[in-house]
Amino acid sequence: MSTEWWRDAVIYQVYPRSFADSDGDGTGDLPGIRSRLPYLRDLGVDAVWLSPFYASPQADGGYDVSDYRAVDPRYGTLDDARALITSAHELGLKIIADIVPNHSSDQHVWFQQALAEGPDSPMRSRYHFLPGRGENGEEPPNDWDSIFGGPAWTRVPDDPEGRENAQWYLHLFAPEQPDFNWNSPEVHAEFLDILRFWLDLGIDGFRIDVAHGLVKAEGLPSIGHAEQLHLLGNDVMPFFDQDGVHEIYRTWRRVLADYPDRIFVAEAWTPTVARSANYVRPDELHQAFNFEYLDTAWDASALRKVIDSSLDAMRPVGAPATWVLSNHDVTRHATRFANPPGSGTQIRTPGDRELGLRRARAATLLMLALPGSAYVYQGEELGLPDVTDLPDEVRQDPSFHRASGQDGFRDGCRVPLPWTRSGSSYGFGDGGSWLPQPSSWGELSVEAQTGISGSTLELYRSALNIRREVPGLGAGDAVTWHDEAPAGVLWFERDGFACTVNTTKEPVRIAAPGRVLLSSSGTLPVTDGSADLPGDTTVWWEL
Ligand code: NOJ
């Protein structure tokens, strides 16, 4: 790793509800995560990003925070958080926390006070409260839709001034997630304090939720049409990617002057990777997620294009590119690649599982060979598919239950992890799991794959170990494409290392560039300097 550890770090995302449950209540927790840290160290990752574990009514799986300085009792205590950070550091792992500055929970004390005190409450200026349109204010203040479906405004139910004066409040997500008003100096001050609170506790960085959403266009102008935005969408909207957000991050970055080696990662959906680069200028954040990469089909020319445009966009600002294939909001990539290209990121059909896993493994080796930082979502190292057949009554994704439910299938990638072949919830805990696990989970468990040559878990372990040893992997900001690559094959080289990716279904003969380091599907005999690169396979070579 470079001295700026985050430039080529492999960061493992833990979704706390679904990782490991220490107390048998069916929900994962911080002591559970702590007990599995040695597993993550052995896997070979550098850092762990934890989705929110703050006090929360869990209307959106913890992305609805009611107290930013407290741990939700379902997940443990502040002491558990401290112990987790300490143990991680002893094992050489960094811990990145999620921070949710775009909105709070409707149970947050500020919002509750704002409701209780009525329209004249100064607390209302910390959120977006406005009178409605129409004769009796019966229409929302503008036409914005919530990303989870339905209008982005809810009328206050119990305004003391009487129903006809009742205001509306803005929530880009669920009604239980009111948006903060970042024109309010109190909101600014509060978040600077929250950052310091967790930095003092030893956290190594923050993943900023909806980093592009904090500032809304002046006057909150209507958009004028329906079908506005889907989760991870990247259209230009008056509530996203406004230039004013950058001043906030410049201020945040100055806080880190007192905390060396800590980082910020932006979750920012922007129209182009070039716009994403604005978030990682030298005086702003360190990394921004690359959702365009996540959304790219298994196709050599599409992949080459997005790799080039990502590296080209980041180079001028000196930030590392990032690569991600799965997270807690999208269909796992083993299932995405099992379905036809263009199926989106909320897929409801299992598709061709064998093909999906084969491509997922190849895609992972490609991702881990690229310069920059890579994100691994819990369970992808087991080759887990999305659980596409969850019964409606167990689903908890708020967007499933709202209006059109356009993006409501996120529970499928949040099913608790299998650690053992059998037992209550396959080793997740002693008391079942908050979402039902499929019977295939046992054979996909950590126990079932450990030490089994060719298993997906051992492939990840080998890849991450090699990535640490071979300097050509992860480092730098460019790749050299081999222009004689056959059609459908990606081939690039850097620093004594080559990566070849056959995105077609058929084997392709290539001149072996060196010694095979690792293949995503079986061994690869090299005869007379040539090798048949199997279909849907990535091979790493030492030159
Ligand atoms: C993005 C998070 O990743 C997602 O899970 C959440 O629902 C929204 N932001 C709202 O916080």
Report the nearest-CA residue for atom 5 of ligand 1. 329
Residues in Cβ contact with 188 at an 8 Å cutoff, skipping those fewer than 6 apart: 182, 248, 251
**With a 6 A CB cut-off, is 363 part of the ligand 1 pocket?**
no
Nearest CA owner, ligand 1 atom 3: 329
Q: Output the pLDDT for position 1.
A: 41
For ligand 1, is residue 60 a contact (CB within 6 Å)?
yes
Measured between alpha carbons, how far is 185 from 191 in angstroms, rounded to an integer? 10
207 beta partners? 98, 265
SS3 of 168-186 = EEECCCCCCCCEECCCCHH
Could you say which DSSP state residue 389 is in?
Answer: T
Nearest to 449 by CA among 109, 174, 43: 43
**Cα(468) to centroid(ligand 1), Å:** 31
* Residue 386 Cα distances to 87, 374, 398, angstroms: 31, 21, 18
209 in contact with ligand 1, CB cutoff 6 A: yes
pLDDT for position 466? 97
pLDDT value at residue 234? 67
The answer to whether the beta carbons of residues 146 and 140 sit under 8 Å apart is no
DSSP class per residue in 454-499: T-HHHHHHHHHHHHHH-TTTT-SS--EE-TTPPTTEEEEEETTEEE
- DSSP structural state of residue 120: T
For atom 4 of ligand 1, which residue has the closest CA?
Answer: 329
Single-letter code of the amino acid located at 312:
D
Q: For 285-342, what is each residue's pLDDT tens digit? A: 999 999 999 999 999 999 999 999 999 999 999 999 999 999 999 999 999 999 999 9
* pLDDT for the residue 226: 77
pLDDT given for residue 230 in this prediction = 66
User: Three-class SS of residue 89?
Assistant: helix
Separation of alpha carbons 460 and 477, rounded Å: 23
Give bridge partners of residue 508 from the DSSP assignment: 533
Q: Which of 329, 345, 401, 409 to mutate to test the pocket of ligand 1 (most atoms within 8 A of CB)?
A: 329
CA distance linking residue 135 with residue 129, whole number of Å: 18
Active-site residue flag, 209: yes
- Closest residue to atom 10 of ligand 1, CA basis: 63
Task: Let me know: does 411 contact 435? Beta carbons within 8 Å.
Answer: yes
Nearest CA to ligand 1 atom 2: 209
Instruction: Take atom 11 of ligand 1 and give the residue whose Cα is closest.
Output: 63
For a pocket test of ligand 1, which of 210, 267, 269, 399 has the largest count of ligand atoms closer than 8 A to its C-beta?
Answer: 210
Residues of the chain with pLDDT under 50: 1-2, 405
Instruction: Choose the residue to mutate in 102, 231, 375, 406 for probing ligand 1, maximizing ligand atoms within 8 Å of C-beta.
Output: 231
Q: How many CB atoms lie within 10 A of CB 380?
A: 24
Could you tell me how many helices (H) and strands (E) the chain has, helices first?
13, 21
Out of 209, 292, 381, 397, the active site residue is 209
Pick the residue whose CA is nearest to atom 6 on ligand 1. Answer: 63
Tell the residue number behind the tokens 């100055």, with chain if given. 254
329 lines ligand 1 (CB under 6 A): yes
Residue-level pLDDT at 214: 98
The strand pairing partners of 267, in sequence order, are none
Ligand 1: nearest atom to the Cα of 410: 5
Name the CA radius of gyration of the chain, rounded: 23
209 C-alpha vs ligand 1 centroid, how far in Å? 7
Q: Which amino acid is at 255?
A: V
Annotation says 283 is catalytic: no
Q: Which residues on neighbouring strands pair with residue 533, listed in sequence order?
A: 508
Cα 48–chain centre separation: 12
Distance 63 CA to ligand 1 centre (A): 6
Which tens digit of pLDDT belongs to each residue from 35-88?
Answer: 999 999 999 999 999 999 999 999 999 999 999 999 999 999 999 999 999 999
Ligand 1 contact, 68 CB (< 6 A): no
Ligand 1 centroid, distance to 329 Cα (angstroms): 7
Distance 213 CA to ligand 1 centre (A): 11
How far is the C-alpha of 50 from the C-alpha of 48, rounded, in Å?
Answer: 6
Query: Residue 158: what pLDDT?
Result: 58
> 63 in ligand 1 pocket by Cβ < 6 Å?
yes
Q: Return the pLDDT at 448.
A: 98
User: Cα(445)–Cα(324) distance, rounded to whole angstroms?
Assistant: 22
For the CA of 399, the nearest atom of ligand 1: 7
Using DSSP, state whether 428 is helix, strand or coil: coil
- Active-site choice (46, 145, 267, 386): 267
Position 329 scores a pLDDT of: 96
Tokens (6 digits) for 332 = 């796992």
Residue-level pLDDT at 231: 60
pLDDT of residue 274: 86
The protein residue with its alpha carbon nearest to ligand 1, atom 8, reads 63
